[in-house]
Structure 1
Amino acid sequence: MVRANGRRLVVAGLVLLFVFPFLAMLSTAFKLPGDIFHAPPRLLPAEWTWDNFAAAFEQIPIWRYLGNTLFTRAANVIGTLLACPLSKVTWRGRSALLAVVLATMMLPPQVTMIPVYLLWNGLNAGDTYWPLIAPAFFGTPFLIFMIRQFLMSVPNDLIAAARLDGANELRIYWSIVLPLARPALVTSAVFQFVWTWTDFLNPLIYLNDSEKYTLSIGLYAFFAEHDVAWGPLMAACVMFTIPALLIFIAGQRYFVGGVSTGALK
């Protein structure tokens, strides 16, 4: 009993450690300016206010940044969901290409950053969304591996039976592989959305026009160009965090099942 209680205390402490920054951000978003740097610090506001959220909308073009972010991130998720399940398709050289794709996971992104930038710049794709969207339609190495491990549980006899019934490869992919891979696909969608939603470096490298900014670099630009108004900034950060949090909560049931199933294959 003592050991079990000790473990619960350790888990509770770790949860509090990770949740505390979010709670502090959420609390600051509802504080008055004079209450933000009160000594000693207060976790809860002395007086709750929505003025910071109104000021954030007035000072930062949040709706434009949000629309740009949703567009690029939705395109990334769609590309991932279309490309990664193709690992189930059997063709000559598939295993060799899979080994090459998985080997790229050992390369840090800093190694390929400059060559990839030069490639897109040579294609005159600088200051466009193509560098942020197109790579997802070729798959993400980790998600390709995870979905492949999940799809190994799909019987090949089922696909062979569909071919005997006259179904072409596209029909098999759309009507059999995708529905059976739903847990893994939802898991991949959650991963891809969170990874790209919080991505700061790639939009910073490729986007120069402020009209095309995503939320991450839009908030940074506001922070760099103006005096730091911590209340509105924290309110904007709360609105930036909520979509990723809601996506994770909505897909949590499939997320846990997809990860555990992929790990066991």
Structure 2
Amino acid sequence: MGTVGKAISLLELFTVGEPEHGLSDLSRRSGFDKATTRRLLMAMASHGFVEQDAETRQYRLGAGLSRLARIREARVPFLQTAVPFVRDLSTETGETVHLSEFGAGALVTVHVEHPARANRVNVDIGQLLPLHSTASGIVYMAFARDELVAACLKGSLNAFTPHTLVDPAAISRSASETRERGYSICDQGFEEGVISVAAAICAADGFAIGTIAVAAPKARTTMAEIAERGLAVMAAAREISTRLNGENLKILRRQA
């Protein structure tokens, strides 16, 4: 792994649940020796990508990353465009609604709206969503380029629950059904007791760039609600896609 790859792997250790780490912890988790870890941190700190608390000596992500994120958002206003729809959908359904964007081979959760109710599905900002086992992942593959789908289905796939699809042929069938329906349904594929629906947010060429999903406890979700939410996420995704791309949006209906 090169120097840049090592630095990025350190950044990826920071999460919503663990926003700060000490040098020893970062060294242990990354597998790098302390000298290498310190050198990488100092280099990133000089560019504002990490910062160190003067009292605790703990490291956290720095404002330099926010600056880059804002530059990108100014060019591709994904959050600015989509967040109002996420909020409206959460209010309408009373369930967790999350927004994801694809990058570097993974779907990354970039915004979440949780309902006020205690019994809800919790999703974290920055959470990576496996493509084969989530509603977001399946609908993303349904509207992704063939070569990307083939790469995603290579090798062994983790079974997160007894309901997770791990057979490539079964996953492809699910993606094909999703493409025809317009939205995906994932029944406990990633987390037991959770059922989700999702729709793809597309670029002007019709290929997916992200997803919007509703996740709810299965115990209180009826099939009628699943259908209603499916149509709702599909409508929201289409409107977000149109606003991002103008009227030139091309929704692909490719055969599997």
Which range, TM-score by smaller chain?
Answer: under 0.3
Q: Which has the higher contact order (CA 8 A, sep 6+)?
A: 1
Q: Which has the higher strand share?
A: 2
Look at both structures and tell me which one has the larger radius of gyration over its CA atoms. Answer: 1
